[in-house]
Structure 1
Amino acid sequence: MALAVCVVVRYRKAVTYGVHALLAALETAKVEHELRLGTTPEETAEHIKATTADRVITLWSFYSPDAEAMAAELATVKQLSDGRGLHIAGGVHATAEPQQVIDAGWDLAGIGEGESTIISLVRALQDDAPLTSVPGLAIRDSDGVALRTRPAPQLPLDAFPSFVGRHGPIEITRGCRYTCRFCQTPFMFGGQFRHRSVASVREHVRSMVDRGLRDVRFITPTSLSYGSPGPDPDLDKVEELLAGVKEELPPHGRVFFGSFPSEVRPEHVTPEAMRLLKRYVANDNIIIGAQSGSDKVLAASGRGHGTSPVRDAVRIAVEHGFRPNVDFIFGMPGESPEDQAQSLALAGELADMGARIHTHTFMPLPGTPWRDAEPAFIPLSTMSELDRLAQRGDAYGHWRKQAEHAARLAETAKAYPRRTKRRRTS
């Protein structure tokens, strides 16, 4: 007889999209389990203590800047729940730094995409099978080393839904062919695009409409890359997607595309693309990733475009009735005072054209080529100019908080140098 398994989730707003995908995978695979969602550490501990299941697994997911805070929460939950059950950390940070999360107190780290792993993990707990048989895990070895199991497969995006019985943006593309040195997406999901089929997207929309929902948003690293295997947009595929979604929606339904939680690459912003969006979308803004006003910094970061396409993108977007929200990252490795001055000048120029500037501070994120890179110094003069842009309503963002995160990530990286060899169970 299979053992009863309870899946407890430390349920946080910041990571609901990924959690919904894992829970949908369990449901579609028809894996028997009890499910409890803890919205606070205390509630999570109460769920762990209250279940009568034979086995308890608690799921945690977080981004790298939250790792320290989540480790403190984990300690609280373990204490309040008398240390019952297993705790697994997943997401981009656990994938990049399994040894860190094991040392921080988690029993397991999920490596890579989690749908296949969570299905295999719950089944292993039901069967009382060794966890070394589960793909996509890191398990503490007897000497404290994070021992990896075989990799989890990267399946077509249609293999699992974005959500079942819940709602949120529909993931239409996973992976990214662009190699930005500061970004975790290609590391986590691979360097090629995997697109969800239009049929699968339409099925998601129908389920949302059945629950009375009317707004549809999407998760994708670059919106206008939908349906394309390479660097050039395939606008016919984009239109097939948007037209299909509109057909599934009631007359008052709305489609949001190229706005949060996704973005558009500047070289993809063309008059033809903007006219296409105007026919289908409800959003009056689009997010454009500029990242720097220095061609030198853009080349070093692997962005694949210079500053000229950024200017063109803002001009074209504004001409077609969209307000661009343009991302800038300050403090990227090797960035000089002259580079920062160029970024500030471009930000001001774009703001005068009608854009809003979304300001960020470079963070040496685990798993990226710049994981160990030293952030460039951001002087008071640059900070003052960013504040001035914000005060006049032309900029927004949490760049100061990100600067604090960057300092902590840099210190942690020094304590965990990259390993050249990784031990596996087989």
Structure 2
Amino acid sequence: MSEPELVLVLRYRKAVTYGFHVLLGALGEHETATRYEVRFGSTPEETAEHIRAGVDAGARVLVLWSFYSPDAAGMAEELKAVRALADGPRVTHIAGGVHATAEPVQTLDAGWDVAAVGEGESTLLSLVDSQGDPTGITGLAYRDAAGALIRTGKARQRPLDDFPGFALKWDRFNALEITRGCVYACRFCQTPFMFSARFRHRSVANVRWHVDQMRARGLRDVRFITPTALSYGSQDESPNLAAVEELLATCKEGIGPNGRVFFGSFPSEIRPEHVTRETLRLVRRFCTNTNIIVGAQSGSDRVLGAAKRGHGVEEVRRAVRLGIEEGFQINVDMIFGMPGEDRADVDASLGLARELADLGARIHAHTFMPLPGTPWRDAPPGDVDPATITEVDRLSQRGALYGHWQKQRAHAQRLAAAAEAYPRPGRSRTILPTVSRSPE
């Protein structure tokens, strides 16, 4: 076999394997004249070793990075370390994912050569065809030899069925993405602002092909990636239960009697207004999971309205009661420190958390982070006061609350500092004002 012209080195971390598998799934079925190799760097040192090997072979080396906004600062430090271990004029470091899409200039200034903007499948295929030359390829931001910023726009969005959802050629599997984009466009979430505020679904036939591939390789568990599980097959806010039933039925049949199907549990969730006895029994009929994740986010109707959640607190209560009555363990996502909260809003969230915990639910606690690319990007970082921390700790000690909310407080501070360094002139924060309330 002749030496490769192009070596793709993936900085392969557990947190971002899914995104890489999707890219490699597209690449594995792509016909190209470029002779290329793919190598996985599970540590900075291993990544540097692969870079040196590619350079020594005379190949162009593209180092692919993917990370979420809370990881951006840490990855920038790691990039410096990798460059110190291995570098050269034929080495190009490319960052992709939601952070690079939302903050391409910040990403370039942090040390990457190229930022991939938007969905990466088509962009990667074009880069492989060009042997790493970004000229004329959409979906990129970079600086030319004179230092001028070049933006080529977002890559064209294509149907999910166009590309496999995991990397068969490299035997790398993951939960299967069945929906991309989200019509709800919550103000704190990056998903709709990277992929657009509409749903794009993988067809049932295409999902079944993936399940058949998994079963043929001895895999038993089918899980889904989707922003809102019961929105599968829908183009608006109403569930399409016929489409959901067809999806689950074919997956259960395809994975076989020894396989398992999980729906509405990690890594996806169900919106509270979609929880009914009918939908719960549909999950019970076809799926293995006895737990469901319900996205509540706040116990204050005022905060939920400002966040454009599209539901109220009563829908959350009803969803939890129904879920528990139907025999499910309910995990409820809640975000503390939301923009514009006052003491009454915080107390309402804590009261709801206690109420749901008393019913038997578990609270998955988060701290608000001003994520790039969202309408609340310029909001203050989540501020969890000592009284709230004490109450959250009580719930945690009784086993009714879990999550990385404390780490997220530190992440939120770093994101706010980065936003100050890269302000968005004229952008409205769309944050509800704090309201002064007298005691009742």
Q: Normalising TM by the smaller chain, what interval?
A: over 0.9
User: For the Cα contact (< 8 Å) 2:182–2:198, is it kept in 1?
Assistant: yes
User: For the Cα contact (< 8 Å) 1:228–1:234, is it kept in 2?
Assistant: yes
User: For the Cα contact (< 8 Å) 1:363–1:403, is it kept in 2?
Assistant: yes
2:156 aligned partner, one-letter code: P
Q: CA deviation at 1:113?
A: 0.3
Determine whether 1:71 maps to 2:76. yes
Once the two structures are superposed, residues 285-325 of structure 1 have per-residue CA deviations (whole angstroms, 9 ceiling, x without a partner) of 00000000000000001101110000000011111111110
2:134 aligned partner, one-letter code: L
User: For the Cα contact (< 8 Å) 1:132–1:149, is it kept in 2?
Assistant: no
The SS at the match of 1:7 is strand
Partner of 1:236: 242
TM-score, normalization by structure 1:
0.95
Partner of 1:275: 281
Partner of 2:202: 196
| Aligned counterpart for 1:42 among listed residues 45, 61, 66 | 45
Aligned residue runs from structure 1 range 18-417, under 5 A = 18-31=19-32, 32-51=35-54, 52-83=57-88, 85-125=91-131, 130-142=133-145, 144=147, 146-165=149-168, 166-375=172-381, 377-417=383-423
The SS at the match of 2:130 is helix
Once the two structures are superposed, residues 246-293 of structure 1 have per-residue CA deviations (whole angstroms, 9 ceiling, x without a partner) of 111121110000000000000000111001111011111000000000
User: For the Cα contact (< 8 Å) 2:273–2:311, is it kept in 1?
Assistant: yes
Distance (Å, rounded) in 2 between the aligned partners of 1:370 and 1:218: 28
TM-score, normalization by structure 2:
0.92
Distance (Å, rounded) in 2 between the aligned partners of 1:317 and 1:144: 56
User: For the Cα contact (< 8 Å) 2:329–2:361, is it kept in 1?
Assistant: yes
Once the two structures are superposed, residues 311-356 of structure 1 have per-residue CA deviations (whole angstroms, 9 ceiling, x without a partner) of 0000111111111100000001101111000000000000111100
Once the two structures are superposed, residues 70-128 of structure 1 have per-residue CA deviations (whole angstroms, 9 ceiling, x without a partner) of 011111111111345100000000000011110111000000000000000111126xx
Q: CA deviation at 1:131?
A: 1.6
Partner of 2:5: 4
User: For the Cα contact (< 8 Å) 1:172–1:201, is it kept in 2?
Assistant: yes
Distance (Å, rounded) in 2 between the aligned partners of 1:304 and 1:25: 35
Q: Which deviates more from structure 2 when the two are superposed, residues 100-109 or residues 45-54?
A: 45-54
Distance (Å, rounded) in 2 between the aligned partners of 1:68 and 1:327: 26
Task: Summarize the Cα distance change of 1:236–1:74 in structure 2 as closer, same or farther, 3 Å threshold.
Answer: same
Distance (Å, rounded) in 2 between the aligned partners of 1:53 and 1:343: 59
The SS at the match of 2:269 is coil
Partner of 1:424: none
Q: CA deviation at 1:140?
A: 1.4
RMSD: 1.6
Q: CA deviation at 1:53?
A: 4.7
Gaps of 5+ in 2: 428-440
1:341 aligned partner, one-letter code: D
The SS at the match of 2:131 is helix
Q: CA deviation at 1:417?
A: 1.1
Identity of aligned residues (%): 62
Task: Summarize the Cα distance change of 1:204–1:347 in structure 2 as closer, same or farther, 3 Å threshold.
Answer: same
Alignment size in residue pairs: 418
User: For the Cα contact (< 8 Å) 1:335–1:376, is it kept in 2?
Assistant: no
Distance (Å, rounded) in 1 between the aligned partners of 2:72 and 2:220: 35
Distance (Å, rounded) in 2 between the aligned partners of 1:214 and 1:377: 42
User: For the Cα contact (< 8 Å) 1:99–1:145, is it kept in 2?
Assistant: no
User: For the Cα contact (< 8 Å) 1:98–1:146, is it kept in 2?
Assistant: no
Distance (Å, rounded) in 1 between the aligned partners of 2:194 and 2:154: 12
User: For the Cα contact (< 8 Å) 1:175–1:221, is it kept in 2?
Assistant: yes
Q: CA deviation at 1:30?
A: 2.7
Q: Which deviates more from structure 2 when the two are superposed, residues 295-304 or residues 134-143?
A: 134-143
User: For the Cα contact (< 8 Å) 2:119–2:154, is it kept in 1?
Assistant: no
Distance (Å, rounded) in 1 between the aligned partners of 2:143 and 2:339: 34
Q: CA deviation at 1:2?
A: 11
Once the two structures are superposed, residues 374-401 of structure 1 have per-residue CA deviations (whole angstroms, 9 ceiling, x without a partner) of 1353210000000000000000011111
User: For the Cα contact (< 8 Å) 1:89–1:101, is it kept in 2?
Assistant: yes
User: For the Cα contact (< 8 Å) 1:334–1:376, is it kept in 2?
Assistant: no
Distance (Å, rounded) in 2 between the aligned partners of 1:332 and 1:143: 42
The SS at the match of 2:9 is strand
